[in-house]
Amino acid sequence: MKYIVNSFVSIVVIFCISGFTSSTIDTSISKWERLGSRTVDFKLDKDVIHVGAKDGRFAKLKLAVTRGDLNMQKMRIEYHNGQVENINLKHNFSKRSSSRIIDIDGRKRIIKNIIFWYDTKNRSKKKALITVFGR
């Protein structure tokens, strides 16, 4: 009888822990949506990520840099209604780093393009990959 009760209690505890852990992880990942990525070059450059009307309504952006280092100069957001928002980012990203959460004025406007100006100044032997997430 003790064996059955202990087994039952163990199963209930495992079920509760696994259910709590998976739901916590799923909700944190689902808050951010990947908008696009670009592999940067070894020079002063500009890249555009086209977001589009279907996915473009966001109030916050976040950048993630992987593979290599990157010296970000600025970011520009172009909306479908023709308005533009310039964001000074002047930041040196190391590989596996991310930006602060960037509040944008896009809640009622749809993002058309996100444009980046950056350079690597040969700080890295690998080309960096920049990915933009929206929420």
Residues 26-74 have pLDDT tens digits of 334 458 889 999 988 777 788 999 987 666 678 889 999 998 888 888 9
Q: pLDDT category, 15, cuts 50, 70, 90?
A: very low
Q: Within a 13 Å sphere around the CA of 73, how many CA atoms are in the beta-carbon half?
A: 12
- Name the residue ranges covered by the structural domains of the chain: 1-30, 33-134
- Going from the C-alpha of 19 to that of each of 7, 11, 16, the distances in angstroms are 18, 12, 5
Rounded to two decimals, what is the model's pTM?
Answer: 0.71
3 state SS of 82: coil
E-state strands within 13-119: 33-39, 45-50, 60-66, 70-79, 84-93, 97-98, 102-103, 111-119
Residues 63-102 have pLDDT tens digits of 999 988 888 889 999 988 899 999 988 888 888 899 989 8
* Range ranked top by mean pLDDT from 17-21, 52-56, 71-75, 104-108: 71-75
DSSP letters spanning 3-33: HHHHHHHHHHHHHHHHHHHHHHHHHHHHT-E
| Range 33-134 has CATH code 2.60.120 | yes
- Look at residue 1 and tell me whether its pLDDT is greater than 70: no
CA distance 74 to 62: 14
